[in-house]
Protein backbone atom coordinates (compact mmCIF):
# COMPACT_ATOMS: atom_id res chain seq x y z
CA UNK A 1 0.00 0.00 0.00
CA UNK A 2 1.34 3.43 -0.97
CA UNK A 3 1.32 6.46 1.33
CA UNK A 4 -1.99 8.08 2.22
CA UNK A 5 -3.33 10.95 0.11
CA UNK A 6 -5.46 13.89 1.20
CA UNK A 7 -8.65 14.38 -0.80
CA UNK A 8 -10.00 17.93 -0.73
CA UNK A 9 -13.42 19.29 -1.72
CA UNK A 10 -15.25 16.01 -1.08
CA UNK A 11 -18.23 17.69 0.62
CA UNK A 12 -20.56 19.98 -1.30
CA UNK A 13 -22.39 21.41 1.72
CA UNK A 14 -25.68 21.17 -0.19
CA UNK A 15 -28.51 19.68 1.88
CA UNK A 16 -30.58 18.37 -1.04
CA UNK A 17 -27.50 16.87 -2.73
CA UNK A 18 -26.38 15.15 0.47
CA UNK A 19 -29.85 13.68 0.99
CA UNK A 20 -29.88 12.43 -2.61
CA UNK A 21 -26.52 10.71 -2.09
CA UNK A 22 -27.83 9.07 1.09
CA UNK A 23 -30.81 7.81 -0.89
CA UNK A 24 -28.47 6.42 -3.55
CA UNK A 25 -26.40 4.76 -0.82
CA UNK A 26 -29.50 3.12 0.66
CA UNK A 27 -30.69 1.93 -2.74
CA UNK A 28 -27.28 0.38 -3.46
CA UNK A 29 -27.37 -1.44 -0.12
CA UNK A 30 -30.86 -2.79 -0.82
CA UNK A 31 -29.65 -4.32 -4.09
CA UNK A 32 -28.42 -7.31 -2.09
CA UNK A 33 -25.40 -8.58 -0.19
CA UNK A 34 -23.90 -10.09 -3.35
CA UNK A 35 -23.57 -6.64 -4.92
CA UNK A 36 -19.98 -5.53 -4.32
CA UNK A 37 -18.61 -4.18 -7.60
CA UNK A 38 -20.53 -1.25 -9.08
CA UNK A 39 -19.50 0.81 -12.09
CA UNK A 40 -20.64 4.38 -12.74
CA UNK A 41 -20.85 5.65 -16.28
CA UNK A 42 -22.53 8.32 -18.40
CA UNK A 43 -23.31 9.01 -22.03
CA UNK A 44 -21.10 12.07 -22.49
CA UNK A 45 -18.29 13.82 -20.59
CA UNK A 46 -19.06 16.35 -17.84
CA UNK A 47 -22.38 14.88 -16.68
CA UNK A 48 -21.05 14.63 -13.13
CA UNK A 49 -20.47 10.88 -12.76
CA UNK A 50 -17.09 11.36 -11.05
CA UNK A 51 -18.52 13.69 -8.41
CA UNK A 52 -21.41 11.28 -7.80
CA UNK A 53 -19.21 8.21 -7.37
CA UNK A 54 -16.84 10.13 -5.07
CA UNK A 55 -19.74 11.35 -2.93
CA UNK A 56 -21.15 7.83 -2.72
CA UNK A 57 -17.77 6.38 -1.70
CA UNK A 58 -17.45 8.98 1.08
CA UNK A 59 -21.02 8.33 2.20
CA UNK A 60 -20.54 4.55 2.37
CA UNK A 61 -17.31 5.00 4.33
CA UNK A 62 -19.12 7.30 6.78
CA UNK A 63 -21.37 4.41 7.89
CA UNK A 64 -18.46 2.05 8.46
CA UNK A 65 -18.19 0.36 5.08
CA UNK A 66 -14.77 -0.40 3.65
CA UNK A 67 -14.71 1.13 0.16
CA UNK A 68 -12.28 1.14 -2.76
CA UNK A 69 -12.82 3.73 -5.48
CA UNK A 70 -11.10 2.88 -8.77
CA UNK A 71 -10.73 5.61 -11.39
CA UNK A 72 -10.83 3.66 -14.65
CA UNK A 73 -11.25 6.78 -16.80
CA UNK A 74 -7.72 6.52 -18.17
CA UNK A 75 -8.57 8.77 -21.11
CA UNK A 76 -9.63 11.88 -19.18
CA UNK A 77 -9.50 11.58 -15.40
CA UNK A 78 -10.42 14.59 -13.25
CA UNK A 79 -10.02 13.22 -9.72
CA UNK A 80 -6.45 14.33 -8.98
CA UNK A 81 -6.95 17.95 -10.06
CA UNK A 82 -10.50 18.24 -8.71
CA UNK A 83 -9.56 16.99 -5.25
CA UNK A 84 -6.21 18.75 -4.96
CA UNK A 85 -4.05 15.64 -4.69
CA UNK A 86 -0.36 16.51 -4.56
CA UNK A 87 2.83 14.58 -5.09
CA UNK A 88 3.85 11.89 -7.50
CA UNK A 89 0.91 9.52 -7.87
CA UNK A 90 0.99 6.03 -9.36
CA UNK A 91 -2.12 4.87 -11.17
CA UNK A 92 -4.14 2.18 -12.88
CA UNK A 93 -2.58 2.60 -16.33
CA UNK A 94 0.88 1.92 -14.88
CA UNK A 95 -0.35 -1.21 -13.12
CA UNK A 96 -2.14 -2.57 -16.20
CA UNK A 97 0.94 -1.97 -18.36
CA UNK A 98 3.17 -3.80 -15.88
CA UNK A 99 5.09 -0.76 -14.63
CA UNK A 100 3.72 -0.86 -11.06
CA UNK A 101 2.43 -3.51 -8.68
CA UNK A 102 -1.05 -3.54 -7.19
CA UNK A 103 0.32 -2.41 -3.83
CA UNK A 104 2.01 0.59 -5.44
CA UNK A 105 -1.23 2.00 -6.86
CA UNK A 106 -3.45 1.52 -3.79
CA UNK A 107 -3.72 4.62 -1.60
CA UNK A 108 -5.30 5.18 1.78
CA UNK A 109 -7.13 8.51 2.02
CA UNK A 110 -7.91 11.02 4.75
CA UNK A 111 -11.43 9.53 4.79
CA UNK A 112 -11.51 6.62 7.20
CA UNK A 113 -12.47 3.37 5.50
CA UNK A 114 -11.95 4.65 1.96
CA UNK A 115 -9.04 3.76 -0.32
CA UNK A 116 -8.49 4.85 -3.91
CA UNK A 117 -6.78 3.85 -7.15
CA UNK A 118 -6.14 6.80 -9.47
CA UNK A 119 -6.26 6.50 -13.26
CA UNK A 120 -2.57 7.17 -13.83
CA UNK A 121 -0.93 8.75 -16.89
CA UNK A 122 -2.87 8.94 -20.14
CA UNK A 123 -2.57 5.84 -22.28
CA UNK A 124 -3.20 5.70 -26.05
CA UNK A 125 -4.74 2.22 -25.72
CA UNK A 126 -6.95 2.20 -22.59
CA UNK A 127 -9.41 -0.39 -23.94
CA UNK A 128 -6.61 -2.90 -24.48
CA UNK A 129 -5.24 -2.24 -20.99
CA UNK A 130 -8.63 -2.82 -19.37
CA UNK A 131 -8.81 -6.22 -21.07
CA UNK A 132 -5.61 -7.34 -19.34
CA UNK A 133 -5.86 -10.16 -16.78
CA UNK A 134 -4.26 -7.83 -14.24
CA UNK A 135 -7.46 -5.75 -14.17
CA UNK A 136 -9.51 -8.85 -13.41
CA UNK A 137 -7.03 -9.69 -10.66
CA UNK A 138 -7.43 -6.21 -9.16
CA UNK A 139 -11.20 -6.63 -9.05
CA UNK A 140 -10.92 -10.12 -7.58
CA UNK A 141 -8.60 -8.92 -4.81
CA UNK A 142 -10.79 -5.89 -4.07
CA UNK A 143 -13.89 -8.06 -3.73
CA UNK A 144 -12.13 -9.99 -0.97
CA UNK A 145 -10.77 -6.97 0.90
CA UNK A 146 -13.58 -4.39 0.61
CA UNK A 147 -17.31 -4.16 1.20
CA UNK A 148 -17.75 -2.13 -1.98
CA UNK A 149 -15.67 -1.55 -5.09
CA UNK A 150 -16.87 1.52 -7.01
CA UNK A 151 -15.46 2.02 -10.51
CA UNK A 152 -15.56 5.35 -12.33
CA UNK A 153 -15.53 4.58 -16.07
CA UNK A 154 -15.33 6.78 -19.19
CA UNK A 155 -18.54 7.94 -20.92
CA UNK A 156 -19.93 5.13 -23.07
CA UNK A 157 -21.17 6.99 -26.15
CA UNK A 158 -18.58 6.11 -28.77
CA UNK A 159 -16.13 4.39 -26.38
CA UNK A 160 -15.80 0.67 -25.60
CA UNK A 161 -13.97 1.06 -22.25
CA UNK A 162 -17.12 1.08 -20.12
CA UNK A 163 -18.52 -2.04 -21.78
CA UNK A 164 -15.28 -3.90 -21.01
CA UNK A 165 -15.47 -2.92 -17.34
CA UNK A 166 -19.20 -3.72 -17.21
CA UNK A 167 -18.52 -7.37 -17.98
CA UNK A 168 -16.60 -7.62 -14.69
CA UNK A 169 -19.11 -5.79 -12.46
CA UNK A 170 -22.14 -6.84 -10.43
CA UNK A 171 -24.08 -3.78 -11.48
CA UNK A 172 -24.00 -0.44 -13.27
CA UNK A 173 -25.38 3.02 -12.55
CA UNK A 174 -25.89 5.53 -15.37
CA UNK A 175 -25.44 9.19 -14.44
CA UNK A 176 -27.48 11.57 -16.61
CA UNK A 177 -27.24 15.35 -16.49
CA UNK A 178 -30.76 16.72 -16.24
CA UNK A 179 -31.93 18.37 -19.47
CA UNK A 180 -28.62 17.85 -21.29
CA UNK A 181 -28.73 14.36 -22.82
CA UNK A 182 -31.10 12.91 -25.41
CA UNK A 183 -33.16 9.81 -24.76
CA UNK A 184 -31.65 8.11 -27.82
CA UNK A 185 -28.12 8.51 -26.45
CA UNK A 186 -29.07 7.05 -23.08
CA UNK A 187 -30.74 4.11 -24.83
CA UNK A 188 -27.48 3.42 -26.68
CA UNK A 189 -25.62 3.27 -23.37
CA UNK A 190 -28.32 1.03 -21.90
CA UNK A 191 -28.03 -1.33 -24.88
CA UNK A 192 -24.24 -1.54 -24.50
CA UNK A 193 -24.55 -2.44 -20.83
CA UNK A 194 -27.19 -5.06 -21.53
CA UNK A 195 -25.01 -6.59 -24.24
CA UNK A 196 -22.16 -6.93 -21.73
CA UNK A 197 -24.46 -8.86 -19.38
CA UNK A 198 -24.15 -6.28 -16.61
CA UNK A 199 -27.18 -5.64 -14.42
CA UNK A 200 -28.37 -2.03 -14.70
CA UNK A 201 -29.15 -0.91 -11.16
CA UNK A 202 -30.68 2.40 -12.16
CA UNK A 203 -30.11 5.99 -13.18
CA UNK A 204 -28.93 9.06 -11.27
CA UNK A 205 -30.52 12.24 -12.61
CA UNK A 206 -27.79 14.74 -11.81
CA UNK A 207 -27.74 18.54 -11.51
CA UNK A 208 -31.50 18.81 -11.33
CA UNK A 209 -32.78 22.23 -10.27
CA UNK A 210 -34.27 21.33 -6.88
CA UNK A 211 -35.32 24.94 -6.24
CA UNK A 212 -38.34 24.19 -8.43
CA UNK A 213 -39.21 21.13 -6.36
CA UNK A 214 -41.63 22.06 -3.57
CA UNK A 215 -40.60 19.06 -1.43
CA UNK A 216 -36.88 19.85 -1.40
CA UNK A 217 -37.61 23.56 -1.30
CA UNK A 218 -39.34 23.15 2.05
CA UNK A 219 -36.48 21.10 3.45
CA UNK A 220 -33.95 23.60 2.17
CA UNK A 221 -35.79 26.35 4.07
CA UNK A 222 -35.92 24.14 7.16
CA UNK A 223 -32.17 23.53 6.98
CA UNK A 224 -31.54 27.28 6.67
CA UNK A 225 -33.81 27.94 9.66
CA UNK A 226 -32.00 25.28 11.68
CA UNK A 227 -28.60 26.91 11.01
CA UNK A 228 -29.98 30.33 12.02
CA UNK A 229 -31.37 28.87 15.25
CA UNK A 230 -28.01 27.32 16.16
CA UNK A 231 -26.20 30.57 15.43
CA UNK A 232 -28.60 32.51 17.68
CA UNK A 233 -28.20 29.92 20.44
CA UNK A 234 -24.40 30.12 20.45
CA UNK A 235 -24.47 33.92 20.29
CA UNK A 236 -26.58 33.95 23.47
CA UNK A 237 -24.15 31.55 25.17
CA UNK A 238 -21.26 33.90 24.40
CA UNK A 239 -23.16 36.75 26.08
Q: pTM to 2 decimals?
A: 0.83
Q: What is the pLDDT of residue 2?
A: 62
* Residues 187 and 238 occupy one common structural domain: no
How far is Cα 161 from Cα 124, in angstroms, rounded to an integer? 12
Averages of pLDDT over runs of 10 residues in the chain (239 residues) are 73 80 94 93 87 94 97 81 76 95 94 93 89 96 96 89 94 90 89 93 82 47 38 42
Query: What value, to the nearest 5°, has the Cα angle with vertex 118 and ends 112 and 119?
Result: 160
Range of the domain at 119: 2-208
Q: Do 105 and 150 sit in the same domain of this protein?
A: yes
Give the 3-state secondary structure of residue 115.
Answer: strand
Domain count, the chain: 2
> Do 49 and 7 lie in a common domain?
yes
Indicate whether 128 and 28 sit together in one domain: yes
- Give the pLDDT confidence score for residue 85 in this predicted structure: 79
Q: Let me know whether 169 and 225 are in one domain.
A: no
Q: Are residues 146 and 237 in the same domain?
A: no
98 and 156 share one domain: yes
**32 and 17, same domain (yes or no):** yes
CATH code: domain of residue 7: 3.40.50.300
Based on the fold, state whether residues 181 and 217 are members of the same structural domain. Answer: no
- Same domain for 224 and 117? no
- Cβ atoms within 10 Å of 151's Cβ, excluding its own: 27
Residues 180 and 229 in one domain: no
Based on the domain organization, do 69 and 135 belong to the same domain? yes
DSSP H or E stretch at residue 117: strand 114-117
pLDDT of residue 235: 45
Identify the CA nearest to 23 among candidates 52, 64, 66, 65: 52
Amino acid sequence: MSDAVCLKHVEKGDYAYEEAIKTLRTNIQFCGSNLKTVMFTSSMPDEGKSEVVMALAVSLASIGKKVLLVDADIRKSVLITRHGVRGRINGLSQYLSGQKTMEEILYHTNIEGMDIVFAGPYSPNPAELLEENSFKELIRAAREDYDYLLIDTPPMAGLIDGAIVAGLCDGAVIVIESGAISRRLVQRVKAQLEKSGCRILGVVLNRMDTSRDRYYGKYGKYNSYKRDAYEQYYEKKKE
